[in-house]
Amino acid sequence: MQTLAHEMTHLWQFHFGKPGRRGYHNKEWADKMESLGLMPSSTGKEGGKRTGDSMSDYIIKGSLFDQMCQSLLTSDFRISWADKYPVREKIQEAIENGTIEDISDELEVWGVELIENEDGEIIIDMPEPVPTRHKYSCPQCAVNVWGKPTLNLVCGDCQVNFVVID
């Protein structure tokens, strides 16, 4: 629930506030988090910085967030979801337990195919996640950056092309 609120605060700020640079959690974001009952903290504990790049948070005892979570968690409340890329072991377990039909709709949505080989074994054929960014490195000074797979980067210090690191 904390993570969901943390990410929803980013969404709120994107639509109604002024987000900082990518990845930076600014004062506006921190103030909104605190108003919800989550204290921003660079350490995830009391005493951490309220703003920065790598931020966590902790629940303010007795806050609205704390009260609402207690209410939800002591009721029949549930969050259900489906992973975009399901774990192969989960599918294998369903095959072994004979419950694969129970998840057939999900398999179709996930793009998973079950193929029987000549030995009668079922092979799980599923798409691999497509990376949305690559790690690039300067071959001379070893500076690393992350970016879209289609970038053509040149090191400003060495004047050489970055190479993709897999």
pLDDT digits (tens, 9 = 90+) for 43-86: 999 999 999 998 999 999 999 999 999 999 899 888 776 666 66
pLDDT-derived band at 8, boundaries 50, 70, 90:
very high
* DSSP, residue by residue, 82-138: --SS--HHHHHHHHHHT-GGGGHHHHHHHT-EEEE-TTSPEEEE-PPPPPS-EEEE-
Q: Is the pLDDT assigned to residue 161 strictly greater than 70?
A: yes
Task: Kindly state the tokens that stand for 35.
Answer: 């108003």
18-55 pLDDT, tens digit each: 998 888 999 999 999 999 999 999 999 999 999 999 89
Report how far residue 52's alpha carbon sits from residue 150's, in angstroms, rounded to the nearest whole number.
29
Inter-residue long-range contacts of 132-137, CB under 8 Å, 24+ positions, other chains counted = 134/164, 134/165, 134/166, 135/164, 135/165, 135/166, 136/162, 136/163, 136/164, 136/165, 137/162, 137/163, 137/165
Report how far residue 25's alpha carbon sits from residue 15's, in angstroms, rounded to the nearest whole number.
15
Domain borders along the chain are 2-73, 88-125, 131-166
Report how far residue 114's alpha carbon sits from residue 83's, in angstroms, rounded to the nearest whole number.
18
Q: Taking the model in full, what pTM does it have?
A: 0.52
Q: What is the mean pLDDT of residues 107-128?
A: 84
- In sequence order, the β-bridge partners of residue 50 are none
How many angstroms from the chain centroid is the CA of residue 56? 14
* Cβ atoms of 109 and 124 closer than 8 Å: no
